[in-house]
Amino acid sequence: MSSASWNADCGNGTYRNPVLYTDYSDPDAVRVGSDYYMVASSFSNVPGLPLLRSKDLVNWELVTYVLKKLPAKRYERPVHGCGVWAPSIRFHEGVFFVCFPMPDEGIYMCTATDPEGKWSDPVMIKEGPGWIDPCPFWDDDGKAYLVYGVAKSRIGYKSVLWLQEMRPNGLGLAGEPMKIFDGNENDQSTIEGPKLYKRNGYYYIFAPAGGVKTGWQTVLRSRDICGPYEYRVVLRQGESGINGPHQGAWVDTVNGEEWFLHFRDVYAAGRIVYLQPMQWKEDWPIIGIPKNGEEWGEPVDCYLKPDVGAKAAICAAAFRESAPDLSLQWNANPQKGWRRERGGGICLNAVLKDGVYGDIPNLLLKKWSAPEFSCVYFFVLSSLTSGDEAGMISMGMEYGALSFVRDEERIRIFRVHGKQIFGKILCERTEEKKEEIGELPADTDRVFISYSVEQKGERTLGEDPIRYPEETVCMLYGTDKAEFSEGLTMTASPGRWVGVKYGFFCCSAKEESEGHVTILPAL
């Protein structure tokens, strides 16, 4: 098993899918000049709304986040599965726009002239629960519009797309919403995630349907932005092994090629990103490779890289960060005093723990970066005070953690297993078990923790016909990097709409503590 990240660039002018084996759900992208920018859902993790950049649609770099915090007080605590759902990104008259929904609060807009610099604070442009998956559009006559969908869990119905006029500056809506497509009236159930474009006098709405795990990509077409719209399925799984290929972004290259970015749900690892070639036939798109004269295509496993007019550098991995630890996100809106700045490594202060491990707000979490990988971190525990604890967690709806608790002169070792039980929307309760498994030697206050993910075959889920990877998470610990003891082993399961994350915590049984932990990657 390699510790390297996934690399989609084959180095010979071809690429392999997925281009990102990382949980970037509901991707949307735009090309500006020779740069591509992509955003994705971030739910209740903060900072929110990751922004990635690419020169060739294959090699991607995480460059910043649009949101420093979520714009609602409830996110001072984890609200798993809520927060930022499917966003969109557009560029209009020198300004970048990112529009995103929070299904319990409303639809928001952020703007920037430099996408890698400072973004504006979010402005709510449509208030109320249930409105999701918005996408702004500016027409040739100067008018602007917003297309969006609905969440049945909040509004009581699904499979309907709405269109509403938008102020040209993108910071408000006008008029009344118009229903422009109802998937309940045809075979397009669960249609959502609309993205609005214009080409050759037609308005196109790219929208996924059929559900996340087994769905397809649909495209609507009309000569009038208000409809009526005809529709066609343009991408299906077909005979490929890529389930549910849908929801994403149509982009082009400077040399006129057409491409489509979408996600695929692989269960524990989350929703990973694929790149498909795209072509047009009689003013209808076909995504992937057309099969047997059908109007739709099948997704590709390998293909020629996009012709972007220049050779982009191949990264050490197809995904990288523009700054150390940029991919780390908190479990809730961060508070002052959670982390202290220190040259090298991560330094976390001991914060009062007043709930189960899965609901610790100051969990600092990182997405999986490959189907299989391993990493080792060095924890300096000498600055913990009595009642403080620090450790590592593998976070999903089923989670596991190793915790090292300072108890007077001892450091005791605990193993934690937890399971979140969800109702219709929110987590109703968590079942958690904590057991002591040992203690560190009296003269030791430092420990190595190894975290690894290994695929053990495939699994099915109930009546779901899809075969998903089955991953085992293993966490080991030791005072010597060369010799480890088993901490915990578990079968991975995802979080609420998100893939498994792993990360760090430092907390205390005391209201106030001066303790802290320093965490360094063990090279």
CA distance 88 to 205: 13
Residues paired with 364 in a beta bridge: 330, 504
CA distance 372 to 69: 31
SS (H, E, C) 53-66: EECCCCCEEEEEEE
Q: Which of 23, 104, 105, 192 is catalytic?
A: 192
Residues paired with 483 in a beta bridge: 480
Q: Which of 9, 26, 298, 398 is catalytic?
A: 26
SS (H, E, C) 396-439: CCEEEEEEEEEECCEEEEEEEEEEEEECCCCEEEEEEEEEEEEE
Per the annotation, the verdict on 26 as an active-site residue is yes
Residues in the chain: 523
Tokens representing 146? 């917003």
CA distance 255 to 279: 14
Per the annotation, the verdict on 93 as an active-site residue is no
Would you say 345 and 519 are in contact if contact means Cβ atoms under 8 Å apart?
A: yes
What does the DSSP assignment read for 455-477? Answer: EEEEEEETTEEEEEEEEEEEEEE
Tokens representing 25? 């759900």
CA distance 122 to 84: 12
Maximum Cα–Cα distance across the chain: 76
Residue 219 burial by Cβ neighbours in a 10 Å radius (0-12, 13-18, 19+) = buried
CA distance 136 to 176: 16
Would you say 194 and 148 are in contact if contact means Cβ atoms under 8 Å apart?
A: yes
Residue with tokens 């979140």: 420
Would you say 247 and 262 are in contact if contact means Cβ atoms under 8 Å apart?
A: yes
Amino acid at 110: C
Helix (H) or strand (E) holding 139: none
For residue 80, how far is the Cα from the chain centroid? 13
Q: Where are the beta strands (DSSP E) in 22-73?
A: 28-32, 35-39, 48-54, 60-67
CA distance 113 to 96: 6
CA distance 56 to 230: 33
**Comparing C-alpha atoms, which of 295, 292, 501 is closest to residue 400?**
501
- Number of Cβ within 10 Å of residue 92's Cβ equals 16
**Comparing C-alpha atoms, which of 288, 152, 178 is closest to residue 233?**
288
Task: Please give the positions annotated as active site.
Answer: 26, 192
